[in-house]
Every structure is written in structure tokens, then in C-alpha cells.
């Protein structure tokens, strides 16, 4: 039995609220249960040094958590003077996931920086960030199209992510914090609308897991992201 009483294959209630941030070219506030992440997309008319003069764009991401997004207050990374390894790992994952569905040649020499800031954390913040970030990115590209900065939206597909895990021997979808902290294994899947795998990150917390378990988790993730893709299209006005 899951602590939340959810069915093993059930997502938490999901909402994606586009345009939450007033100033950003694109933004989305995503809620998955109690987890709440504000995703903004900022467009800038230049690329990092390693891409200059190549006629292509870049998409990158930064991730942060408000100090009291969690049950007990965490250090403010700005005050401590550096980002944790976990933060860096997550923001690298978000950036790779979005670049996997973006035609960077079609962007021109522009950079879109996605900021994912966790207002409230209850497990699954990196996955929620990716799912919400796609909406913010889509809206920013649409903004560029309306401004005639781009002739078409460079997104080739949707991308969304969900975490699954083995909890008390049962594969379950969309771990919340109560499950995540006790799961035997958990895996984050980043999948495309067309059904391809962009990233899979599975970790045994207790005993190692088997090939069959990995496949079962992937199956749950595929069902879960199908729902998320629908929510994304709705939020993006597609």
C-alpha cells in the first residue's frame, strides 16, 4: 500500500500553469501533488563562446531550491558560495533533456536559459522540472516566432519525465518523498512524445534490481508520461 493511498500506476494530481512569471519570455508553474516548481525560459541573442559563429543556438538550464522548500530548512547555496553536486547533476540533466528535442540549427545564434526553481519539494523535483521546462521553452519559442526572431518553433517533439521505483517489492509510478526515502530502487525516465528514451537513470538504494524490474518501471513511466504529454499540450495551447 502506498503512503498516499495511490494506485501503483497513478500519477499525483498534476497541473501546469503557463505564464506564471510576469517578465519571462515563457514560463510554467508545475505542481505534481505538493511538489511545485517554477520554470522560466529567458531568451538572449548570443551563444556561449564554444558555439560562436556556427549559426546554431543553445539551450541550457539552472536549478535551485528555495531554502525552505523542504521539511527542514536547507542551506542557501548562494550564501554557502557553491552549488551542490546534486544541484549540478540535476541542471545538467534538464539541459540535456531539452536539447534532445530541440533543433538547435533552427534557433539561430540564440540561447534560451531555463530556470527551474523549486518552491515546495515533495519528491520528483527533477522530473517535474523537465516536464514544466518543456512548456516554458515552447512558449518562449512561440514568443520568438511572434516577434519574427524565429520562423518556426525549433522543438521537434515533446519531452517529459517521471520517477518510478520499487516500493515494498511493487513497481510504482511517480514517487513522492515518503516513498522515495524508503524505495528499494528508483529510476528517472525522460521520454519523448514519440516514445523514445532520452535519459534513464536508475539507482538501487537497497538491494540491486533486476532486468525485469527495470522494464516494469519503464512501462509505468511510459504510461505516466502519456498523461503528462497531454497536460503539456493543454498548457501550451496545442
Residue span binding a second copy (CB under 8 A) among the ranges 11-19, 38-46, 165-173, 223-231: 38-46
| For a second copy, the closer CB: 35 or 153 | 35
CA distances from 76 to 72, 177, 195, 206, 231 (A): 12, 21, 38, 30, 32
Answer yes or no whether residue 9 interacts with a second copy by CB under 8 A.
no
- ∠ at Cα 217 (212, 219), nearest 5°? 95
Answer yes or no whether residue 153 interacts with a second copy by CB under 8 A.
no
86 is in an annotated binding site: yes
| Cα torsion 177, 181, 182, 186: sign | positive
Answer yes or no whether residue 208 interacts with a second copy by CB under 8 A.
yes
Number of residues in contact with a second copy under rule CB under 8 A: 66
> Cβ of 52: how many Cβ atoms within 10 Å?
10
Answer yes or no whether residue 171 interacts with a second copy by CB under 8 A.
no
How long a stretch of residues is the chain?
A: 238
- ∠ at Cα 33 (28, 35), nearest 5°? 60
Residue 31 CB contacts under 8 Å (≥ 6 apart), including other chains: 13, 14, 15, 16, 17
Residue 74 DSSP symbol: P
222 is in an annotated binding site: no
* Residue in 5, 85, 146, 169 binding a second copy, rule: CB under 8 A: 85
The 3-state DSSP class for residue 109 equals coil
Answer yes or no whether residue 216 interacts with a second copy by CB under 8 A.
no
Answer yes or no whether residue 87 interacts with a second copy by CB under 8 A.
yes
Please, what is the minimum distance in Å from the beta carbon of residue 77 to a second copy? Answer: 4
> According to CB under 8 A, which residues from 101 to 120 bind a second copy?
113, 115, 117, 119-120
CA distance linking residue 169 with residue 151, whole number of Å: 50
* Residue in 153, 209, 220, 231 binding a second copy, rule: CB under 8 A: 209
Please, what is the minimum distance in Å from the beta carbon of residue 10 to a second copy? Answer: 21
Write the DSSP assignment of 190-202 as a string of letters.
EEETTS-EEEEEE
* Residue in 16, 18, 31, 40 binding a second copy, rule: CB under 8 A: 40
Give contact residues for a second copy (rule: CB under 8 A): 21-24, 27, 34, 38, 40, 42, 44, 62, 64, 66-73, 76-79, 81-89, 91-92, 96, 100, 113, 115, 117, 119-120, 122, 187, 191-192, 194-204, 207-211, 213-215, 218
Residues tagged in the binding site annotation for phosphate: 86, 124-126
Amino acid at each position: 500500500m502506498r503512503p498516499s493511498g495511490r494506485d501503483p500506476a497513478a500519477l499525483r494530481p498534476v497541473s501546469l500553469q503557463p505564464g506564471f512569471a510576469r517578465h519571462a519570455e515563457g514560463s510554467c508553474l508545475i505542481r505534481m501533488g505538493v511538489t511545485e516548481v517554477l520554470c522560466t525560459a529567458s531568451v538572449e541573442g548570443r551563444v556561449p563562446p564554444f558555439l560562436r559563429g556556427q549559426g546554431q543556438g543553445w539551450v541550457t538550464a539552472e536549478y535551485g531550491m528555495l531554502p525552505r522548500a523542504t521539511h527542514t530548512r536547507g542551506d542557501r547555496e548562494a550564501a554557502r558560495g557553491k552549488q551542490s553536486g546534486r544541484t549540478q547533476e540535476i541542471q545538467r540533466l534538464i539541459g540535456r533533456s531539452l536539447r534532445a528535442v530541440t533543433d538547435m540549427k533552427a534557433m539561430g545564434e540564440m540561447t534560451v536559459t531555463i530556470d527551474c526553481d523549486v518552491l515546495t519539494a515533495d519528491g520528483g523535483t527533477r522530473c517535474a522540472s523537465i516536464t514544466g521546462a518543456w512548456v516554458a521553452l515552447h512558449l518562449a519559442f512561440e514568443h520568438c516566432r511572434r516577434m519574427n526572431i524565429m520562423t518556426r518553433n525549433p522543438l521537434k517533439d515533446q519531452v517529459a519525465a517521471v520517477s518510478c521505483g520499487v516500493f515494498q517489492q511493487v513497481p510504482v509510478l511517480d514517487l513522492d518523498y515518503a516513498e522515495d526515502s524508503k524505495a528499494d530502487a528508483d529510476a528517472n525516465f525522460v521520454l519523448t512524445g514519440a516514445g523514445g528514451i532520452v535519459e534513464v537513470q536508475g539507482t538501487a538504494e537497497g538491494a540491486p534490481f533486476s532486468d525485469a524490474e527495470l522494464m516494469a518501471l519503464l512501462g509505468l513511466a511510459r504510461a505516466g508520461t502519456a498523461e503528462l504529454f497531454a497536460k503539456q499540450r493543454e498548457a501550451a495551447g496545442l
